[in-house]
Structure formats: C-alpha cells, structure tokens
Amino acid sequence: MSLWEYANPTRFMRVTGAALPWLWALTALCLAVGLTWGFFFTPDDFRQGSTVKIIYLHVPSALMGINAWLMMLVTSLIWLIRRHHVSALAAKAAAPVGATFTLIALATGALWGQPMWGTWWEWDPRLTSFLVLFLFYLGYMALWAAIEDPDTAADLTSVLCLVGSVFAILSRYALVFWNQGLHQGASLSLDAEENVHDVFWYPLLVCIAGFVLLFVALVFLRTRTEIRARRIKALETRARMSAA
C-alpha cells in the first residue's frame, strides 16, 4: 500500500474516522498522566524552584509549534508538486493548532521568564524568531481566509509556508547560530549529557507524547472538517449550475 493512497479523500476519511477515537483516548491518557506526574509528583529545581513545573507545558508546546510548521511545509510541498487536495487541506487544518501551541510557548515562556530573568520579554534571537513564527501563522491563516478560490489560496499559502520555514528552523537553532541571549540551551537532545535530570525527563517525555497525539488528533479532525466543507462547496456549485 502506498502513502499516496491517503491523498484519496474517501480513504483518508475512512482511516482517520477509525483512528480518531483511539487517538483521543491516548491523548487524554498521556496528558493526564504526564501533567499530573509533572505537577504533583516532581520536586522543585534547586535553582528555579517550583517554576520548573512550567517545563511540562513550555517545552512540548514549543516543540509542536515548530514541528507543526514543518508538517505544513511537507504537506505544502506535496500540494505544490503533486497537487493532492488533502495535503493542502491538512496544512490549512494544522495552522490554527500550530498557532495555539506557539502562543502557549510564548505565554508560558513569559510567565517563566519573569521570575527567573526578571523580564517578561527580551529581544533574544530565539524568542524573537519564535514571535516571528507566530506572526507567520497568523499571516498564513489570514491568507487562506482572504482568497476565494481554494486552489489559488493553497498555492499562495504554500509559498508563504516555504518562506516561514526559515523562522521555524531559526527558532529551533537560533541559539546555535548566534550563541547569545537569555534563553538556555536545549532541554532535550539526543546527546544525553544535555538532557534535564531523569526526575523531570520522564514526565516531560509523557507530556511531549500527549502534545504530539493532541496535534495529530486535532489535525485529523480539522482536515476531515475541511474535506466536508469542500464537498459542501462542490455540491452548492453543482446545484447552482444545474439551476442556471
């Protein structure tokens, strides 16, 4: 079976319809376990005190804010190259979800930064590129809403997505590129020496799993909505033409 078979809306609806109840259940389980574990059963950090508990929201949401845009980049490229409508609709469906995660990362970052750095905001490379990424999300959604013809909207938003990918990558690697600013280095890395202590690491992994599953569930749900909305438009057009 090829991956391209899911570009067929009927097949996509069938597969995601069957997967969604399981995804919701797994999402609720991971978020409930991860957040309860992190909030109630982990100690304070010796330097940051209880503010370390914000890590269970800030890191997963920042991770998903960036990765949602990268997912949109892949689906936008598929649209531009292979013209599969489901991929364009999936990118459109993912944007509000990615914007929400990015907003959560910005808000929790400010709430963490104020007591630790003494400021809500700093024009630090990582923070600034993340803010620009959020603005790109808003611009992307506005562009979809502003253009009547769905194929033209998909074309133009795909190009915008390519441009915005620069900031998605910058917000992840700004620290490496500029090596300055208030923001600390990566909390998570394949290099074990950079990771947080195990007592924070395990509940954080469960929270990240919960955020990933929530993203997938919401994108499936919203893509299904977009496919139905597209079908409604097609039926309305057909009815108008037969009436004319």
Q: Which residues bind another protein (CB under 8 A)?
A: 35, 39-40, 44, 49-51, 53-54, 57-58, 61, 96-97, 100, 103-104, 107-108, 111-112, 114-115, 214, 218, 221-222, 224-225, 228-229, 231-232, 235-236, 238-240, 242-243
Residue 137 or 170: the one with the smaller Cβ distance to another protein is 137
Residue 115 or 166: the one with the smaller Cβ distance to another protein is 115
Q: How far is the CB of 243 from another protein (least distance, A)?
A: 4
Give the residues across from 45 on adjacent strands.
Answer: 49
Give the integer Cα–Cα distance in Å for 130 and 102.
8
Q: How far is the CB of 50 from another protein (least distance, A)?
A: 4
Q: Which residues contact 118 (CB under 8 A, 6 or more apart)?
A: none
Q: How far is the CB of 240 from another protein (least distance, A)?
A: 6
> How would you write the chain as a 3-class SS string?
CCHHHHHCHHHHHHHHHHHHHHHHHHHHHHHHHHHHHHHHCCCCECCCEHHHHHHHHHHHHHHHHHHHHHHHHHHHHHHHHHCCHHHHHHHHHHHHHHHHHHHHHHHHHHHHHHHHHCCCCCCCHHHHHHHHHHHHHHHHHHHHHHCCCHHHHHHHHHHHHHHHHHHHHHHHHHHHHHCCCCCCCCCCCCCHHHCCCHHHHHHHHHHHHHHHHHHHHHHHHHHHHHHHHHHHHHHHHHHHHHHC
Q: How far is the CB of 124 from another protein (least distance, A)?
A: 19
Residue 176 or 199: the one with the smaller Cβ distance to another protein is 199
Are the beta carbons of 182 and 114 closer than 8 angstroms? no
Residue 94 or 170: the one with the smaller Cβ distance to another protein is 94
Q: How far is the CB of 195 from another protein (least distance, A)?
A: 22
Residue 61 or 157: the one with the smaller Cβ distance to another protein is 61
Residue 11 or 231: the one with the smaller Cβ distance to another protein is 231
Q: How far is the CB of 53 from another protein (least distance, A)?
A: 5
CA angle at 18 for the pair 16 and 23, rounded to the nearest 5°: 75
Q: How far is the CB of 229 from another protein (least distance, A)?
A: 5
Residue 78 or 95: the one with the smaller Cβ distance to another protein is 95
